[in-house]
Amino acid sequence: GEDVEQSLFLSVREGDSSVINCTYTDSSSTYLYWYKQEPGAGLQLLTYIFSNMDMKQDQRLTVLLNKKDKHLSLRIADTQTGDSAIYFCAETSGATNKLIFGTGTLLAVQP
């Protein structure tokens, strides 16, 4: 079945790089996504990658996709305290391309 796994928690110091990892199951996913959820706010799309790409860079964000291992990662360079949030990866699934979300990784940035 559909299952997207993430580690629950990551703590980094301000200025360091953060790497959040995700494994997914649906090899037919067309796109894979990273969403950010801050306290009291709605989910916000950070970035997405098409399944035929290995890497996508967008300012401080780098997404790496290993399709063979069904592994997705999000690297945040020069992590700031404002990056503290829960990060969800998501895959598209089925004929309707509905999004299936992972369990989320809480990123805590220490000043």
Query: Which residue from 98, 81, 82 is spatially nearest to 90, judged by alpha carbons?
Result: 98
Indicate the residue among 55 and 77 with the shorter CB distance to another protein: 55
Q: Which is nearer to another protein, 8 or 59 (CB)?
A: 8
Residue with Cβ nearer another protein (40 or 111): 40
Name the H helices within 1-103.
none
Q: How far is the CB of 76 from another protein (least distance, A)?
A: 19
User: Which residue reads 């360079």 in tokens?
Assistant: 77
| Least Cβ distance, residue 65 to another protein (angstroms) | 15
Residues that bind another protein (CB under 8 A): 4, 30-31, 33, 40-45, 48, 88, 92, 94-104
Torsion angle, alpha carbons of 41, 46, 50, 55, to 10: -150
Q: How far is the CB of 99 from another protein (least distance, A)?
A: 6
Phi, psi of 82 (to 5 degrees): -70, -10
